[in-house]
Amino acid sequence: MSADATAQPVLLEFTLTADDLLDGLTAAHRVIRRPWYLRWLAPLLTLGIVLVVALKSALSGDLTPTVGVALAILAMFMLLFSVGLTLLFRRRLNPARLTYRWSSRQLIQGNPMLARPLRVSVGEAGVHIAGATGETRTAWSQYPYHLETARSFALLASDRLGAAVLVLPKRAMGETDAAGLRALLAAHTRRLGDR
């Protein structure tokens, strides 16, 4: 990376759409790791409920061998069903995309600065955003992480879920600007994910 590549600020002019915001939010959700127990919450709750019912039945003396076998079969079926639904929901339905589709539309409709044309300048000092309702400057320390998708660059305030996300759509820049922005981001932030 040359010094000239990072010295030139990159200028983007765009109106943020719900699809742009959806792309950045789902990408951030996809690359940020969550604890294993949050990913498997439904199967763990199912197993816990079945164990509580079995324990309560055993302690009260209502657990006959036939009921015990039936409860064990029911527990295995419920656990397999719960694991199957969890895997299907996470892989096929993409719950983050379903959730953020509605949220991104609400954010665009409810925030006048996002719904109007924006002029974003990304340079050595940080990010400068100007719109019809005002302007803001942020230093690189406020966005220590970034990620790139096929449609956008996303600057992240943290590597945890719920952090602020600034989405910069690629449609607002040419290929040389994208390379310049990549160089700036590489110099000032840490890349998350491989997408």
- Note whether 13 and 119 are within 8 A (CB): yes
- Predicted TM-score of the model (pTM): 0.69
Bridge partners (DSSP) of residue 156 are 145, 165
Percent of the chain residues past pLDDT 90, beyond the cut:
33
What is 3-32+95-191's CATH number? 2.30.29
151-176 pLDDT, tens digit per residue, is 999 999 988 877 889 999 999 988 88
Going from N- to C-terminal start, the domains of the chain cover 3-32+95-191, 36-93
Average pLDDT (100-114) is: 83
Q: Could you tell me where the beta strands, DSSP code E, fall in the chain? A: 10-14, 118-123, 126-131, 134-138, 145-148, 152-156, 165-169, 190-191
